[in-house]
Amino acid sequence: MSSKTKGGANDHLANERTFLAWIRTSIGIMGFGFVVVKFSLFMRQLAAVLEAPQALPRGSGFSQVVGITLVALGGLIILLAFFRYQKTKKQLESGSFIYSDWLVKVSAVFIFLCSVLLFIYLFRNIK
């Protein structure tokens, strides 16, 4: 006899697809953070090569903070997604699934705040 788990295969596969979607999301966030940091470093190097400190945007260290925050947020999302996956798996197996969208809300708020900070940074540096 095969051992069946509650929740059914479709529920467990959906849980896995959701986990993988969170992984893709976190990789995208970390990639964007990496680009933000590297662009700031590129601007510093360009200003140094041109020997033109005025070519460096005002407050350029700000973008490094935002970029590093995005990379850290991506890593945190991977960790939280794994715990959420495990919790949902256990709930499905016990037949007591309870929907929770806190990870979606927290991620949306943090990403929105980073986008506001980047907008302020870019707006301040318009010439």
Per-residue pLDDT for 84 more than 90? yes
Place of tokens 């260290």: 61
Tokens linked to 60: 């350029």
Question: CA-CA distance, 79 to 118, in Å (whole number)?
Answer: 25
Rg of the Cα atoms in the chain: 21
Nearest CA among 21, 16, 33 for reference residue 110 = 33
pLDDT of residue 65: 83
Q: Tell me, what amino acid is at 84? A: R
Per domain, the residue ranges of the chain are 8-124
| Average pLDDT, integer, range 93-100 | 87
pLDDT of residue 91: 92
Nearest CA among 58, 53, 60 for reference residue 127 = 58
pLDDT in tens, 36-83: 888 777 767 766 777 665 655 555 567 788 888 889 999 999 999 999
Q: Which range, of 53-62, 83-92, 114-123, averages the lowest pLDDT?
A: 53-62
Burial zone of 75 (CB within 10 Å; 0-12 exposed, 13-18 middle, 19+ buried): middle
| Average pLDDT, integer, range 1-19 | 76
Question: CA-CA distance, 42 to 3, in Å (whole number)?
Answer: 57
Report the chain's mean pLDDT, rounded to a whole number. Answer: 82
Length of the chain: 127
| Average pLDDT, integer, range 90-94 | 91
pLDDT of residue 58: 54
CA 48, chain centre distance (Å): 31
Tokens linked to 77: 């999302």
Q: Tell me, what amino acid is at 3? A: S
